[in-house]
């Protein structure tokens, strides 16, 4: 799918037969998009700068101008390359517009609406982009392909490109049948100043204030929020939260890190607001939930293989060497190896209180990636979701809503039960949990 998702390497030329008298055209269109979290080693979308990405699965229309109005003469859904499936007959000496929409749809009613409108009135304000032309512009009559590469580069186009990637991978990454997602890019209409997901709706923060980033320029942020949507639709990691407890939060246990809760440490970010990092030790539930969303975003842009790379959009610690040589990078994007297993909590966090029912987003991201991509008995995204669906999260020491799935419950209550005689499959789950340091 790397080729399908990449820039369409077409010349903007229409080729026609000299002998034909009728005009029949196939249309291919693109969205313009650029991302700052590119070039970190990921396999898809790995170059900086604005590109023309195929408008995959977008709704489209061909309209003919009649008087001062336009009549729709064809409507449909574009294919995985952003093209019409068939050739469309055109009248000579006529004016048309080919419209591409930020509503996307694939088979079995898998839909995504990208809008800039009023929440929660989802689906009402998705965008049409018009490409105007006359048949005289098409050089000569015949049979050919018309390519439009519109220059509009906006939060809507950038989100729509990632949405196309979600649908293109909807089988492997389990964006289920009959799932609809609404994405809003209007900061004035979102419920938070940061990107978030709640009740089938994604908000991508796009303000340019000094305190926040335009997340539409971060493909891994957009993919991350789709990870939450996927979990909600499948009861995967975190699926129980949405619609039950808004703002469950990633609240670090400050007393976990050092006797002085105001001391900066590789397991917190107390000097930075908000005081949570990729490696902050939290309750196990938020670590699993956010780690899953990180994984899903990574899987959209990395091949299913041993290595995994991404540009992380928030604060992260890294090790410079020597005694106490940890440095926090607060300038995103931050390079992240999403397949490495540093066992961050186990190796770098105080064990008083112990690690039971605790975790970090980084360790769980590493676990999900490696149980899915590394080994001889891999778990599919569907199988991982089934594990989490198979057990009920429990309250942790009264810290509701900081609920999570305890490791022993996941393994012995679900995995062993789902694969009673497949010991290699059990070992894949157990061994990757140990390697990532999430088996607490």
Percentage of the chain exceeding pLDDT 70: 74
pLDDT tens by residue, 66-77: 999 999 999 999
Question: Can you tell me the mean pLDDT for 423-427?
Answer: 97
Q: Which residue has the higher pLDDT, 348 or 2?
A: 348
Secondary structure E strands in 239-397 = 282-283, 309-312, 316-319, 326-329, 334-337, 358-359, 394-395
Residue 10 Cα to chain centre, angstroms: 27
pLDDT for residue 371 = 98
For residue 135, which phi and psi values (nearest 5 degrees)? -65, -25
Give the pLDDT band (50/70/90) at residue 118.
low
Residue 8 Cα to chain centre, angstroms: 21
Residue 315 Cα to chain centre, angstroms: 19
Structure tokens at 180: 């609809």
Does the pLDDT of residue 234 top 70, yes or no?
A: yes
pLDDT for residue 4 = 35
Does the pLDDT of residue 322 top 60, yes or no?
A: no
Residue 78 is given by DSSP the state: -
pLDDT tens by residue, 265-301: 677 765 554 556 788 887 788 889 899 999 999 999 9
Give the CA angle between residues 295, 363, 355 to the nearest 5°. Answer: 140
pLDDT for residue 143 = 72
Any idea which of 113-117, 140-144, 320-324, 432-436 has the lowest mean pLDDT?
A: 320-324
* Prediction pTM value: 0.87
Question: What 3-state class would DSSP assign to 319?
Answer: strand
pLDDT for residue 201 = 84
pLDDT tens by residue, 385-410: 999 887 766 544 443 344 567 888 89
Secondary structure E strands in 78-165 = 88-90, 95-106, 110-115, 128-134, 142-148
Does the pLDDT of residue 206 top 90, yes or no?
A: no
pLDDT for residue 263 = 57
**Cα dihedral 395→231→116→56 (10° resolution):** 170
pLDDT for residue 255 = 35
Question: Can you tell me the mean pLDDT for 418-432?
Answer: 96
Query: Would you say the C-alpha torsion 243, 247, 252, 253 has a positive or negative sign?
Result: negative
Give the pLDDT band (50/70/90) at residue 16.
very low
Question: What 3-state class would DSSP assign to 220?
Answer: helix
Average pLDDT, the chain: 81
> Is residue 9 packed enough to be buried (19+ CB in 10 Å), middle (13-18) or exposed (0-12)?
exposed
Q: Give the span between the Cα atoms of 158 and 50, in whole angstroms.
A: 10
pLDDT for residue 298 = 98
Cross-strand pairs, 436: none
Long-range Cβ contact pairs of 46-52 (< 8 A, separation 24 or more):
46/301, 50/153, 51/6, 51/7, 52/7, 52/8, 52/149
Q: What is the maximum span of the chain, computed from C-alpha positions, in angstroms?
A: 85
């Amino acid at each position: 799918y790397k080729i399908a998702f990449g820039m369409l390497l077409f010349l903007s030329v229409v080729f026609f037969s000299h002998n034909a008298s009728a005009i029949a055209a196939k249309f291919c269109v693109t969205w313009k998009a650029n991302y700052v979290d590119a070039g970190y080693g990921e396999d898809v979308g790995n170059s900086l700068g604005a590109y023309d990405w195929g408008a995959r699965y977008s709704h489209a229309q061909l309209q003919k101008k009649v008087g001062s109005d336009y009549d729709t003469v064809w409507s449909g859904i574009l294919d995985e390359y952003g093209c019409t499936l068939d050739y469309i007959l055109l009248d000579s000496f006529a004016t048309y517009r080919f419209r591409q929409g930020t509503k996307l749809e694939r088979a079995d009613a898998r839909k995504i609406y990208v809008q800039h409108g009023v929440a929660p009135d989802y689906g009402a304000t998705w965008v049409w982009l018009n490409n105007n032309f006359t048949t005289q512009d098409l050089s000569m009559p015949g049979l050919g392909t018309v390519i439009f590469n519109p220059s509009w580069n906006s939060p809507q186009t950038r989100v729509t490109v990632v949405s196309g990637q979600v649908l293109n991978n909807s089988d492997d990454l389990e964006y289920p049948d009959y799932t609809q997602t609404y994405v809003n890019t209007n900061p004035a209409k979102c419920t938070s100043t940061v990107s978030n997901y709640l009740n089938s709706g994604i908000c991508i923060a796009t303000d340019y204030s000094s305190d926040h980033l335009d997340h539409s320029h971060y493909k891994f942020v957009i993919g991350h929020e789709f990870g939450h949507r996927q979990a909600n639709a499948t009861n995967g990691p975190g699926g129980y939260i949405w619609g039950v407890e808004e703002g469950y939060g990633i609240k670090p246990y400050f007393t976990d890190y050092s006797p002085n809760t105001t001391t900066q440490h590789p397991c917190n970010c107390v000097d930075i607001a908000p005081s949570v990092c990729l490696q902050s030790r939290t309750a196990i539930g938020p670590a699993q939930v956010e780690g899953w969303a990180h994984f899903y975003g990574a899987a959209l842009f990395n091949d299913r293989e041993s290595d995994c790379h991404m540009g992380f959009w928030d604060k992260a610690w890294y090790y410079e060497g020597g005694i106490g040589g940890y440095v926090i990078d607060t300038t995103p994007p931050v390079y992240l190896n999403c397949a490495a297993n540093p066992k961050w909590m186990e190796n770098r966090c105080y064990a008083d209180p112990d690690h039971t029912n605790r975790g970090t987003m980084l360790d769980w991201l590493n676990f999900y990636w490696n149980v899915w991509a590394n080994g001889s008995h891999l778990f599919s995204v569907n199988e991982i979701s089934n594990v989490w669906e198979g057990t009920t999260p429990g309250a942790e020491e009264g810290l509701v809503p900081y609920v999570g799935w305890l490791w022993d419950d996941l393994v012995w209550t679900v995995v062993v039960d789902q694969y009673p005689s497949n010991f290699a499959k059990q070992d894949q789950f157990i061994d990757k949990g140990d390697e990532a340091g999430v088996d607490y």
